[in-house]
Amino acid sequence: MKRIKDIFGKIGSFFKNVFSTKKGKITAIVIFSVIFIAVLVAIFPHGKKDKFALDDFYEFAPADVRAVYSNLVKVSCDGDLKFDVEAGAGEKKVSELSKSNLLDYMFSYLDKNLELVDKMDDSVIRKTAKKLFNEDVELLSDIKDYNYGGYIYNVDKGKIVRKKDECKASDTKHVLHLYGFNSNKNYLYVDINVAYLKDGKLYDYNNKELGDYDGDVSKLPKLTENNSYYHITYLRENEDYRLVSVDWRNRS
């Protein structure tokens, strides 16, 4: 007990000496201010905000898997991304995918990272293509009245410009569900069930009715468990995951 009293006595003497002079008071105020700010930074959320939040249901997946999956969902007025490939036709590399698919994937990435603005340098497209795709693809020439997220995009004198437009959805929406993934040192593989929604009912792409769907993603594992799926391959390079190929596989 005596030792504890001695310790508190020394602490008391320290603060008494600090506050006994003007210089000491200023030093104490600075120290306490720094500590207070550090506590606030630790307690409250900070950093770059994202307007897009993947459904909490997918919290089971690692951050890198969630990141690449988020590029595939809510890409248009018609819902999630439907690749222009045929089920059972085998693996399609980036260069074999349609330019509209690649643009949707890229603009989805830019949108979810808050990089889409009314006017941006066309170099953004080239840099983002190198970041996202495992092959060299030229997409600038395809940005002609390109529709994404309620805007029409065009290239004008080295800039990408946009103007407001109506989001014209069809009567069906594409629906994806992340259900599996694995990886090794160099590659990430993601498996995603595919379906479409019409009049509140979910269907596979053979037009077989799967059941009612109200947007609750926790229902998708059961509804789509026998569906065909995308097997998507990504190359891992530092912190980037570059799209390599898409294979639309059947379950049998």
Does 173 map to a domain? no
Is the backbone of residue 108 left (phi > 0), alpha (psi -120 to 50) or beta? alpha
pLDDT exceeding 70 applies to what percent of the chain?
A: 79
Does 8 map to a domain? yes
For the segment 111-125, what is each residue's pLDDT rounded down to a tens digit?
A: 999 999 999 999 999
Place 251 in a pLDDT band, splitting at 50, 70 and 90: confident
Does 21 map to a domain? yes
For the segment 189-246, what is each residue's pLDDT rounded down to a tens digit?
A: 999 999 999 999 999 999 999 999 999 999 999 999 999 999 999 999 988 999 999 9
Please give the pLDDT value at position 68: 96
Residue identified by tokens 């077989």 is 208
CB-count exposure of residue 75 (10 Å: 0-12, 13-18, 19+): buried
Does 221 map to a domain? no
Place 1 in a pLDDT band, splitting at 50, 70 and 90: low
Does 130 map to a domain? no
Q: How many domains does the chain have?
A: 1
**Cβ contact 132:106 at 8 Å:** yes
Within the chain, strands assigned E span: 92-93, 119-121, 146-148, 151-156, 159-164, 173-183, 187-198, 201-203, 209-212, 229-237, 240-249
Q: Residue 26 is part of which domain span?
A: 2-43
3-state helix, strand, coil in the chain (%, to 5): 35, 30, 35
Does 34 map to a domain? yes
**Cβ contact 232:83 at 8 Å:** no
